[in-house]
Structure 1
Amino acid sequence: MSRSSNCEGVSRRDCLRLGLSTLIGGGLIDALRLRGQAEALMPTSSRPTSCILVWMDGGPTHYETFDPKPEAPAEIRGEYDPIATAIPGVHFSRHMTELAKIADRLAIVRSIQHNQGNHGAGNHYMMTGAPTRIPVGCGAFVSFHPSLGSVTAYERGPTGGLPPYFSIPRMSRSGGPNFLGAKYAPFEVPDDPNRDSFRVRDVSPPRELDLGRFDHRRDLRAQLDRLERIDHDAAGDPVRSLDEYYEQGYTLMASKDAQRAFDIHSEPDSIRDLYGRTSFGQRCLLARRLVEAGVPFITLYEGGWDHHVEIFNALDKKLPPFDRALAALILDLEQRGLLDSTLVVALGEFGRTPKINNRGGRDHWSNAMSVMFAGCRTPGGQVVGATDPRGYAANERILSPENFASTVYLKLGIDPDKIYYTPQGRPAHLVSDPTPIAELMG
């Protein structure tokens, strides 16, 4: 798997060096242990909907994806010609060919904007629906508010023994639970499903350990563990709880349903080829399998969109397999009868500057961005909002990250107008403006 970083050179490894690993989705036993402490209090939703959020980390260009400006001067419109879509009169940029064919299933929002033009603040705003409380640096990994995925995990809870929130292959910098607690952090799947050796950690015993030896070690632990348990519930004995968490872990490892969800090698070659034999393509396929298993929130973290230099050379390689995989995901969900209950969203933290810089790239620009929606009864074949003729800023149906977050929550059966309380008793509005994007609600 390639190691991508943003313009500040901050990578996942740097985050771990800062000691944040306990908040970004650890092993399954730890996740079960932490989650179980409040499982009885988890509210549930009556709507069995799911969300696949494709996070285009770095800030994708709106010009070269969903909002081309062919009439603008060359230094703004860039090198790509627009292409027609299935929506009469609506154009995408050159490499978005497969999504253009199914644009009648899509809703493109061209008018979300905010004032957080660096990665740290922009990521937080779009991932949580809340701006940072203080100014933060471009390379900051910050959390002032629970992420969309963590809130969904809190509200919806686990299904079929699987964690309710996945982030594949890693967590976005502001994709964590904040005051909700680490039990609502995402379960990460760092391994590459495009490899023949793909195997999800913590869901099956190590390859060198057959089931007989695995059961023997389990029995050995039980024999060695002579620590006295206090059986009364009022005691809150953590050892009793730990027993339960280990048992849940063992059960999951032995669960045929869980094994089936991760067995991407059982997919027909024709389906795997449809998505494309790339890391991102096969992660999209894995996300579909998790939706089938009932997981309510999956983030597909796809880095490498911070194109300050030679943007067109980079996008010539990056966009075609991305476009293919995302279109395949939407069509596959539709053919399986899952699209009506699955929201697919693709976005990053902001758009890119109108004028191409002297290094052949585009820089950060939060005055304009495009967000793609599909599924979960979102009316397709529409474009919501607009930017000015040169793409500098949203100038029609101007929307905010709060409107975006409220839309996602309502699609998942979660009230964005809720008030949460921190462990210290402080109230926290889930979304300060709980107004959804009405055109997307169906």
Structure 2
Amino acid sequence: MAISKNCESTTRRDCLRLGLGALIGGGLIDALRVRGQAAIPSARPMSCILIWMDGGPSHYETFDPKPGAPAEIRGKFKPIDTAVPGIQFSEPMKRLASIADKFSIVRSIRHDQGNHGAGNHYMITGAPPRIPVGCGAFVSFHPSMGAVAAHERGAAGGLPPYFSIPSMLRSGGPNFLGAKYAPFVVPDDPNSSSFRVRDVAPPRDLAEPRVGDRRGLRDRLDHFKRFAEKSAGDPALALDEYYDQGYELMSSNQAQRAFDITLEDPRIRDRYGRNSFGQRCLLARRLVEAGVPFVTLNEGGWDHHVSLFDGFEKRMPAFESSVAALIEDLNQRGMLESTLVLALGEFGRTPKINKDAGRDHWSNAMSVLVAGCGTPGGQVVGATDARGYAASERVLSPENFAATVYAKLGIDPGKMLYTPSGRPTFLVSDPTPIRELMG
């Protein structure tokens, strides 16, 4: 796991929390290092909402049913027709089936990383891990797509450019790009009546005048000789930018409005679903609307080794209805052409149902939903074999997937990055986008 430490094994985060960060309340400065620096063009830039189905959703029970396979492979659910003649999804995907003309499904991405830690890294960064990693590992050998978007694009109105809701992905960090391109995490539940984003407003027990007093104290401290000399490399001085960003976020009307989900029409909120995931989807739309280029919704619970069918019956109706509502809402607002919506996990599931009525890890096949940013609707890219064992037509890689995301966001997937030591690193080793998705 990539954590920036000094030679005494103290993280910069610890310094912020234990040192000057206490002046305005701990976690604020730490979270706000994600603020990007790039200018935003006048036209609406492309943004991405990545719905990460952590654990690896089954391709059989979502977008790649196999009705002709034996019972121990095809499973409990039947295929259903979609809005596009000739395309079928699995039975739990009813709402998405009804709007299948609005997005594409890729059925033929495969890789060789069959555990959660490695699979997560490969799909989120477009780069395979450099060494074997365990299932529970949080690893970072390459910047995540969200961090790259933050680095290349920045954001407007005092908002950070990269969000991860309600938690950060295992490999969602910035690696050598630097900690200020890490995601701003919003752990609180927007479906709660007490929803309040930490650090976007002063703490409840800290009145506005006291915030100003604390900033004034910092300003006075800056006149001390050590600070006034502005020595190059002084770590205390390096914090100034993060404090300024913190105050800017707390004082930004655009930021306050983006997070105030109560401003939405109750009927819109109902359409997304009055549940945690549904309201997170709505919050993601509001953040993109406010100029944020990359939002990740980290939704775990898809590692169905046991009771897969019961799990899908309980969870999928609300989940896929919220995804459909997001796509429809973006389309109705004229935002789908500038917003890329992705739904995927780290891999698919095994062809044969196991003794516990579940499916196990399987990286030879997976399905990915892609909508927006000029993606043609109503198509399926690639195919798996008759029993869903492996991608067999138009076989694609995580590199092709990452290159597609970057190309759609206006970032050159063939770009060369440089580590702090000057070592050159390709953004994506194979910068070939999936041509069928490029419109």
1:67-105 per-residue CA deviation (whole Å, 9 max, x = no partner) reads 011111111110001111011011111111111011001
1:254-274, CA deviations, whole angstroms, 9 ceiling, x for partnerless residues?
A: 111110000011111101100
Please list, as runs of the form range in 1=range in 2, the aligned pairs for 1:255-274 lying within 5 A after superposition.
Answer: 255-274=252-271
Q: Residue type of the partner of 2:224?
A: L
**Partner of residue 133, structure 1:** 130
Distance 2:308 2:65 in 1: 15
1:421 lines up with 2:421 in the alignment: no
Q: How does 1:5-404 map to 2 (within 5 A)?
A: 22=13, 27-32=27-32, 39=37, 42=38, 48-222=45-219, 227-228=224-225, 235=232, 238-404=235-401
Query: Structure 1: which amino acid aligns with 2:57?
Result: P
Displacement after TM superposition at 1:160 (Å): 1.7
TM-score by length of 1: 0.90
Q: Which residue, out of 430, 433, 436, partners 1:439? A: 436
Seen in structure 2, the aligned counterparts of structure 1 residues 85 and 35 have a Cα distance that, compared at 3 Å, is closer
1:99 partner amino acid = L
Mapped to 2, the partners of 1:352 and 1:194 lie a distance apart of: 31
What residue identity is the alignment partner of 2:29?
I
Residue in 2 that maps onto 1:14: none
Query: Could you tell me whether the CA contact under 8 Å between 1:229 and 1:237 is conserved in 2?
Result: no
Structure 1 pair 403/47, CA: closer, same or farther in 2 (3 Å)?
farther
Alignment-mate amino acid for residue 55 of structure 1 = W
Report the Cα distance in structure 2 between the residues aligned to 1:369 and 1:43, rounded to whole angstroms: 37
SS of the residue 2:279 aligns to: helix
Query: Normalising by the residue count of structure 2, what TM-score does the alignment of the two structures yield?
Result: 0.90
Maintained 8 Å contact 1:155/1:414: yes
C-alpha contact (below 8 Å) 2:222/2:228 kept by paired residues? no
Letter of the aligned partner of 1:318 in structure 2?
Answer: R
Write the distance in 2 (CA, Å) between the matches of 1:225 and 1:414: 39
Check 1:130–1:107 CA distance in 2 against 1; reply closer, same or farther (3 A cut): same
Distance 1:179 1:230 in 2: 28
Q: Which amino acid is 1:57 matched to?
A: D
In structure 2, do the counterparts of structure 1 residues 20 and 137 end up closer, same or farther at CA, with 3 Å as the change threshold?
farther
- Does the CA-based 8 Å contact 1:149-1:175 persist in structure 2? yes
Deviation at 1:242, TM superposition (A): 3.2
In terms of mean alpha carbon deviation, does 230-239 or 248-257 score higher?
Answer: 230-239
CA contact (8 A) 2:35 2:245 kept: no
How big is the shift at 1:423? 1.4
**CA contact 2:105–2:370 (8 Å) conserved in 1:** yes
Query: 1:167·1:298 contact (CA, 8 Å) conserved in 2?
Result: yes
Distance 2:77 2:244 in 1: 56
Give, as a single letter, the amino acid of the residue that structure 1 aligns with 2:416.
Answer: I
The equivalent of 1:4 in structure 2 is none
The separation in 2 between residues aligned to 1:268 and 1:19, in whole angstroms, is 47
Aligned to 2:286, what secondary structure does the other structure show?
A: helix
SS in 2 for 1:87: coil
- Count of residue correspondences: 419
Distance 1:355 1:184 in 2: 41
Instruction: Report the CA distance shift for 1:147/1:102 in structure 2 as closer, same or farther (over 3 A).
Output: same
**Shift in Å, 1:405:** 0.3
Cα displacement (A) at 1:221: 4.9
Change (3 A) 1:260 1:63: same
Distance 1:406 1:194, change over 3 A: same
Q: How far off its partner does 1:422 sit?
A: 1.1
User: How far is the alpha carbon of 1:212 from its aligned partner?
Assistant: 3.4
- How many Å apart are 1:223 and its aligned residue? 5.1
Residues 401 and 212 from structure 1, CA distance in 2 versus in 1: closer, same or farther, beyond 3 angstroms? same
Change (3 A) 1:208 1:370: same
Aligned residue identity for 1:84 = D
Contact 2:34 2:161 in 1 (8 A): no
| Structure 1 residue 132: Cα displacement | 0.7
Return 5+ residue gaps in structure 1 as ranges: 1-17
For residues 343 and 247 of structure 1, do their structure 2 counterparts lie closer, same or farther at Cα, with a shift above 3 Å needed?
A: same
Distance 1:111 1:147, change over 3 A: same
C-alpha distance in 2 between matches for 1:353 and 1:192: 33
Structure 2 vs 1, CA of residues 236 and 22 (structure 1 numbering), >3 Å: closer, same or farther? closer
Deviation at 1:289, TM superposition (A): 0.2
Residue matched to 1:13: none
Whole-angstrom distance in 2 between the partners of 1:59 and 1:386? 18
What's the Cα RMSD here?
A: 2.3
Change (3 A) 1:136 1:383: same
Please report how far the alpha carbon of residue 236 of structure 1 lies from its aligned counterpart in structure 2 after TM superposition: 5.4
